[in-house]
Amino acid sequence: MKSEPLKFSIDDLASSPNQTTAWDGVRNYQARNFMWKQMCVGDQTFFYHSCCAQPGIMGIAEVTSPAYPDATQFDPKNRHFDPKASQDNPRWFNVEITLKQKTRLLTIKELRQYPELKRMRVLQTGNRLSITPVDPDEWKFILKILQV
């Protein structure tokens, strides 16, 4: 799960009540579907900083709620408002995540050095999705690198 640290950083997550936040504001159908149809309570995720001087993995979080309609789509004052969404027919969903632990920064540059990660979606040229699945073997390999 990628976030721009100037908008919401891992430190923001750490200082959130119960170190938990709704992963709202996602407005890409493919990323939405990953949350809505594939993420389950108990799944773990890497918290990744993007659009910054040193993009990369900053920590590990856990999905702590099933997907539910993203409230920001219904708020006309919110920048994520969607006039086509309704309470009866929501278009956007989010899950909640809880911080498990901060890690050392594992930069995208370092991630790209490992042949074991060459197929990792977040490393693919042109990837702009804020949420991408991680293959179980990639997950285990990254945990080894992080010594978690």
Whichever domain contains 114, its CATH number is 3.10.590.10
Domain count, the chain: 1
Regarding pTM above 0.85, the answer is yes
Distance from C-alpha of 12 to C-alpha of 90, rounded to nearest angstrom: 27
* Paired tokens of 107: 């930069």
DSSP 36: I
What string of pLDDT tens digits covers the 148 residues of the chain?
Answer: 999 999 999 999 999 999 999 999 999 999 999 999 999 999 999 999 999 999 999 999 999 999 999 999 999 999 999 999 999 999 999 999 999 999 999 999 999 999 999 999 999 988 889 999 999 999 999 999 999 8
Domain span at residue 49 reads: 2-146
